[in-house]
């Protein structure tokens, strides 16, 4: 499978200012696969240590953080480790917090050695360790984007078109890509789920994989105890998945536990990267996070396939829906846009909300591009209400344009400062798609469609 992160990890290998790299991300998003199948191939030798399985090796990190002494012990299990020729991979590093702390000394004392680490629930481990600034680098991995899903499915031409500004793509091609979005809604972006679907052509096989992944996440919940009871985590996770697109109220996440307990559970799920917190903010000025209200927020799930699986959607009925925005009352569309924005644009996503007597308003998402803020709405069609978007454009005249993601082809309403774009075009309109196309060096056939 082709992953965008492959380019980033290979760039890290050749960077003269390289530092030990920690790959962050939820379990089973492809962290280990990326190292095994992409990065390791670029080295003469590969030393891989799984610190969750090899707990007998933890003692070597407990005795001393001297990297030379640690390497002497690791070589007994992994073979010769030669700086400049060997890639040292410490997998599931969260199982040994001292190994995380040791990374700074690898950087300071063995700078020529390529050291990379990955793990799940890393945020919990990192919160207990003081990591000196400037001693390590991070790479955040997300589930496969829609573009990566198309590529894995053998639809390379549609994948290339999906990166283009939809204004330059013919309506028939836009409609063909939108047809693939519906499948992605249910298969999602977890690599094993995509692999199962591609190899068998069966959505049911991908559902089986999704259920297995969710079981593995629930197995992890025991590691949170006694901070939060695993059953509370499970309840809060389900209600968060069902609440995508809605403002989160702690009291509604579980009616059997207190608001504070629910809050603690949600915060742990956010640290585990199963849930993304989306605070509200006011758009003037950048970065958007400077005005974020952490008490008023929405949430997005890790992956759209896992979300629909967890919510138990009646798939046969939902697949018959012609409008993508009608599936699960539009929640899958909102999840899709959030997931794509997080993967392509910024891991920290925001939205706009205004509460006043008799005039509440909310715009789904905000993105910044070239120093300006753009509001993004997810709507079911041109006839849908855009009252909040119009209100925001009136309230902040410095905003150049509003973006409406919907299940039809590209249209412009310049007199209203609004662009309607097909749902899949999140990455292009967020400013990343054009750059991605340039980086890939592709030359795409285009046709004008600005009518």
Classified as helix, coil or strand, 374 is: strand
Q: Alpha-carbon distance 192 to 213, whole Å?
A: 9
Mode of pairing for the β-strands spanning 293-301 and 402-406: unpaired
Tell me which residue of 58, 57, 221 sits closest to 124, measured CA to CA.
221
Q: Which of 87-91, 281-285, 302-306 is predicted least confidently?
A: 281-285
Please check whether residue 46 lies inside any domain of the structure: yes
Task: State the pTM of this model.
Answer: 0.89
Q: Alpha-carbon distance 420 to 412, whole Å?
A: 6
Q: What is the pLDDT of residue 355?
A: 78
Here the tokens at position 195 are 């692999």
Q: Alpha-carbon distance 51 to 95, whole Å?
A: 6
Q: Which residue has the tokens 């749902």?
A: 423
Phi-psi region of 121 (alpha: psi -120 to 50; beta: other; left: phi over 0): left
Backbone angles phi, psi at 347, to 5 degrees: -70, -20
Residues 93 and 188 reside in one and the same domain: no
Phi-psi region of 251 (alpha: psi -120 to 50; beta: other; left: phi over 0): alpha
Please check whether residue 431 lies inside any domain of the structure: yes
Q: Which residue has the tokens 């774009």?
A: 421
Q: Alpha-carbon distance 127 to 130, whole Å?
A: 8
Residues 136 and 156 reside in one and the same domain: no
Q: Indicate which CATH number applies to the domain containing 15.
A: 3.40.50.300
Write the DSSP assignment of 309-330 as a string of letters.
HHHT--HHHHHT-SSGGGGGGG
Residues 184 and 134 reside in one and the same domain: no
Q: What is the pLDDT of residue 449?
A: 36
Check pLDDT > 90 for residue 448.
no
Check pLDDT > 50 for residue 437.
no
Q: Which of 111-125, 157-171, 270-284, 354-368 is predicted least confidently?
A: 354-368
* pLDDT tens, residue by residue, 239-280: 999 999 999 999 999 989 999 999 999 999 998 899 999 999
Q: Alpha-carbon distance 34 to 23, whole Å?
A: 10
Residues 54 and 162 reside in one and the same domain: no
Write the DSSP assignment of 1-49 as a string of letters.
---THHHHHHHHHH-TT---EEEE--TTSSHHHHIIIIIGGGSSEEEEE
Please check whether residue 245 lies inside any domain of the structure: yes
Q: What percent of the chain has pLDDT over 70?
A: 91
Q: What is the pLDDT of residue 63?
A: 83
Q: What is the pLDDT of residue 132?
A: 63
Residues 86 and 193 reside in one and the same domain: no
Q: What is the pLDDT of residue 327?
A: 75
Here the tokens at position 431 are 């400013």
Mode of pairing for the β-strands spanning 293-301 and 45-50: unpaired
Please check whether residue 445 lies inside any domain of the structure: no
Q: What is the pLDDT of residue 288?
A: 81
Q: Which of 27-36, 239-248, 356-365, 433-442 is predicted least confidently?
A: 433-442
Specify the number of domains making up the chain: 2
Please check whether residue 449 lies inside any domain of the structure: no
Q: Strands of 137-140's sheet, edge to edge? A: 45-50, 86-91, 114-118, 21-24, 137-140
Q: 321 vs 81, which has greater pLDDT?
A: 81
Q: Which of 110-119, 260-269, 377-386 is predicted least confidently?
A: 377-386
Check pLDDT > 90 for residue 114.
yes
Instruction: Write out the E strands in 210-273.
Output: none
* pLDDT tens, residue by residue, 140-198: 999 999 999 999 999 999 999 999 999 999 999 999 999 999 999 999 999 999 999 99
Classified as helix, coil or strand, 373 is: strand
Residues 10 and 52 reside in one and the same domain: yes
Per the CB < 8 A criterion, the answer to whether 116 and 87 are in contact is yes
Q: What is the pLDDT of residue 314?
A: 79
Secondary structure of 115-182 in HEC code, one letter for each residue: EEEECCCHHHHHCCCCCCCCCCEEEECCCCCHHHHHHHCCCHHHHHHHCCCHHHCCHHHHHHHHHHHH
Per the CB < 8 A criterion, the answer to whether 272 and 126 are in contact is no
Residues 56 and 109 reside in one and the same domain: yes
Residues 214 and 241 reside in one and the same domain: yes
Prior bond of 3 cis (ω within 30°)? no
What's the whole-number mean pLDDT along residues 50-57? Answer: 95
* pLDDT tens, residue by residue, 2-53: 899 999 999 999 999 999 999 999 999 999 999 999 999 999 999 999 999 9
Per the CB < 8 A criterion, the answer to whether 316 and 329 are in contact is no
320 Cβ neighbours under 8 A, 6+ residues apart? none
Residues 231 and 101 reside in one and the same domain: no
Residues 154 and 126 reside in one and the same domain: no
Check pLDDT > 70 for residue 439.
no
Please check whether residue 313 lies inside any domain of the structure: yes
Look up the domain containing 110 and give its range.
5-140
Per the CB < 8 A criterion, the answer to whether 251 and 266 are in contact is no
Q: Alpha-carbon distance 163 to 134, whole Å?
A: 34
Per the CB < 8 A criterion, the answer to whether 406 and 382 are in contact is yes
Res. 58 pLDDT band, cuts 50 70 90: very high
Check pLDDT > 90 for residue 283.
no
Q: Which of 294-308, 327-341, 349-363 is predicted least confidently?
A: 349-363
Boundary-marking domain end, from 140, 159, 187: 140
In this structure, what DSSP letter does residue 345 have?
A: T
Please check whether residue 79 lies inside any domain of the structure: yes
Q: Alpha-carbon distance 146 to 230, whole Å?
A: 32
Please check whether residue 281 lies inside any domain of the structure: yes
What's the whole-number mean pLDDT along residues 434-442? Answer: 37
Residues 223 and 316 reside in one and the same domain: yes
Check pLDDT > 80 for residue 320.
no
Boundary-marking domain end, from 122, 140, 158: 140
Res. 441 pLDDT band, cuts 50 70 90: very low
Check pLDDT > 90 for residue 348.
no
Per the CB < 8 A criterion, the answer to whether 377 and 405 are in contact is yes
Boundary-marking domain end, from 79, 106, 140: 140
Residues 136 and 247 reside in one and the same domain: no
What's the whole-number mean pLDDT along residues 100-113? Answer: 95
Q: Alpha-carbon distance 333 to 336, whole Å?
A: 5
Here the tokens at position 370 are 């070239």
Q: What is the pLDDT of residue 380?
A: 62
């Amino acid at each position: 499978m082709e992953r965008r992160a492959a380019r980033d990890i290979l760039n890290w290998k050749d960077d003269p200012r390289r530092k030990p790299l920690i790959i962050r991300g939820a379990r089973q998003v492809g962290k280990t696969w990326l190292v095994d199948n992409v990065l390791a191939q670029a080295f003469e030798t590969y030393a891989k240590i799984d610190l969750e399985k090899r707990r007998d090796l933890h003692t070597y990190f407990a005795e001393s953080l001297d990297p030379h002494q640690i390497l002497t012990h690791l070589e007994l299990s992994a073979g010769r480790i030669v700086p400049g020729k060997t890639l040292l991979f410490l997998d599931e590093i969260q199982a040994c917090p001292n190994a995380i702390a040791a990374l700074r000394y690898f950087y300071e004392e063995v700078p020529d050695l390529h050291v990379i680490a990955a793990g799940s629930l890393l945020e919990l481990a990192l919160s207990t360790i003081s990591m000196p600034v400037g001693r390590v680098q991070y790479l955040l991995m997300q589930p496969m984007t829609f573009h990566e899903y198309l590529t894995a499915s053998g639809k390379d031409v549609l994948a290339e078109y999906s990166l283009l500004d939809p204004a330059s793509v013919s309506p028939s091609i836009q409609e063909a890509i939108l047809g693939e979005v519906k499948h992605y809604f249910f298969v999602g972006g977890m690599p094993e789920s995509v692999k199962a679907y591609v190899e068998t052509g069966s959505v049911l096989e991908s559902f089986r994989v999704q259920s297995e992944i969710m079981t593995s996440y629930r197995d992890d919940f025991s590691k949170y105890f006694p901070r939060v009871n695993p059953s509370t985590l499970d309840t809060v996770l389900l209600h968060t998945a069902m609440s995508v697109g809605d403002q989160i109220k702690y009291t509604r996440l579980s009616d059997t536990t207190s608001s504070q307990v629910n809050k603690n559970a949600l915060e742990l799920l956010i640290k585990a990267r199963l849930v993304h917190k989306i605070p509200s903010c006011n758009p003037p000025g950048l970065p958007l996070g400077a005005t974020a209200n952490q008490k008023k927020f929405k949430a997005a799930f890790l992956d759209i396939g896992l979300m629909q699986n967890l919510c138990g959607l009646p798939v046969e009925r939902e697949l018959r829906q012609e409008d993508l925005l009608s599936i699960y009352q539009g929640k899958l569309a909102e999840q899709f846009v959030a997931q794509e924005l997080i993967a392509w644009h910024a891991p920290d996503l925001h939205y706009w909300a205004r509460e006043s007597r008799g005039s509440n308003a909310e715009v789904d998402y905000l993105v910044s591009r070239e120093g300006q803020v753009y509001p993004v709405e997810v709507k079911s069609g041109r006839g849908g209400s855009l009252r909040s978007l119009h209100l925001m454009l009136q309230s902040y005249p410095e905003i150049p344009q509003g973006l409406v993601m919907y299940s039809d082809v590209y249209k412009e309403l310049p007199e209203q400062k609004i662009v309607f774009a097909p749902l899949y075009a999140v990455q292009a309109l967020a400013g990343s798609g054009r750059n991605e196309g340039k980086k890939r060096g592709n030359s795409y056939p285009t046709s004008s469609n600005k009518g």
